[in-house]
């Protein structure tokens, strides 16, 4: 049986309990060919009971040796600023220096910055802490209005539920869109949403925040293969094109046609991963129309051609 991708979740007391639970809940729910996709270990500088930012006390079973063994390291939210264990900072520096993927959720970005890992890099954190972060770490290019940011092997996410988006992005990067969306359904989360800066994402976006057009978006998802227009979307929503466009942007951060294009690329990724359909059919069924359009938009999102994407993310049946 292949070894699952190993993830060390670093708890820095006083830890934010919600953030601390996210990686294990999301990554732990990920299955690939019926097998766990990730082995998640929560660790800290001094294993045992640790303080949290709430009334709870959490017992953390692993020490920082979990960081040394991990493929990905995630630091979750914390109220700590100056009083961070030097051993934690050293472990994070070694992990990043070894080329491991190092990420933060919420105010975990303060820990990465304290370790010097974000100097000259783009990052994000919980918006309510952005002024404090910028004052402490002016050398970091803070982007407080996005869900998550990817800068090389360093990733960071905004507060609370944006950590779910970050973890789903990790699943998509490791195992593809179909697996990530299956995980999203298991944890009752929105499908993988854009929000970072790497080659996978052209434009950072805010989270979907409204429901007035949810029915129209669901209707459109069933018709991605059709050449939908703003007029048809507006007719379904029983509103004007102008109002539709305004509400779409308010609720998704995108215009209606940008949203459709994003969903069509996701559909193409799923078809490439889960079928052996010719590229012409993948393009047609996803609504991208032509193989040239499929190639251009997929490469813009992932950096891969359709054939390379299929080779990278197609899963063989379990033996």
Handedness of CA 203, 120, 91, 48 (dihedral sign): negative
CA distance 56 to 51: 7
- Cα gap 287→157, rounded to integer Å: 31
pTM of the model: 0.70
- pLDDT at residue 201, as a whole number: 33
For residue 314, what pLDDT is reported? 72
| DSSP state for residue 126 in the 8-state scheme | -
Closest listed residue to residue 76, CA positions, set 167, 172, 153, 146: 167
- pLDDT truncated to tens, each residue of the chain (319 aa)? 456 899 999 999 999 999 999 999 999 999 998 999 999 999 999 999 999 988 889 999 999 999 999 999 999 999 999 999 999 999 999 999 999 999 999 999 999 999 999 999 999 999 899 999 999 999 999 998 888 999 999 999 998 788 999 999 999 899 988 898 889 888 877 666 655 323 233 333 444 445 588 899 999 999 999 999 999 999 999 999 999 999 988 888 789 999 999 899 999 998 998 899 999 999 999 999 999 999 999 988 877 899 988 887 775 544 3
**DSSP state, residue 15:** B
Burial of 51 (0-12, 13-18, 19+ CB in 10 A): middle
């Amino acid at each position: 049986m292949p070894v699952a991708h190993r993830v060390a979740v670093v708890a820095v007391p006083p830890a934010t309990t919600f953030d601390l639970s996210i990686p294990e809940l999301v990554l732990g729910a990920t299955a690939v060919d019926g097998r766990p996709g990730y082995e998640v270990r929560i660790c800290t500088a001094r294993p045992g009971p640790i303080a949290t930012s709430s009334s709870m006390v959490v017992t953390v079973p692993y020490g920082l040796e979990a960081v040394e063994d991990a493929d990905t390291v995630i630091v979750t939210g914390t109220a700590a600023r100056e009083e961070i264990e030097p051993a934690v900072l050293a472990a994070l520096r070694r992990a990043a220096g070894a080329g491991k993927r190092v990420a933060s959720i919420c105010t975990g970005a303060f820990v990465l910055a304290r370790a010097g890992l974000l100097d000259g890099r783009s990052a994000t954190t919980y918006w309510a802490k952005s002024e404090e972060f910028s004052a402490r770490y002016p050398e970091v290019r803070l982007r407080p209005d996005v869900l998550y940011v990817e800068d090389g092997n360093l990733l960071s996410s905004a507060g609370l539920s944006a950590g779910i988006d970050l973890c789903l992005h990790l699943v998509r990067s490791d195992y593809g869109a179909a697996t990530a969306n299956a995980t999203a359904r298991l944890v009752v989360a929105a499908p993988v949403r854009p929000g970072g800066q790497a080659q996978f994402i052209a434009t950072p976006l805010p989270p979907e925040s409204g429901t007035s057009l949810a029915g129209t978006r669901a209707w459109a998802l069933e018709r991605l293969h059709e050449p939908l227009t703003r007029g048809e979307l507006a007719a379904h929503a029983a509103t004007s094109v102008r109002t539709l466009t305004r509400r779409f942007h308010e609720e998704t951060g995108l215009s209606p046609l940008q949203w459709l294009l994003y969903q069509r690329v996701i559909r193409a990724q799923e078809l490439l991963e889960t079928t052996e359909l010719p590229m012409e059919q993948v393009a047609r069924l996803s609504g991208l129309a032509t193989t040239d359009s499929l190639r251009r938009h997929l490469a813009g999102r992932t950096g891969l051609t359709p054939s390379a994407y299929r080779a990278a993310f197609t899963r063989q049946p379990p033996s």
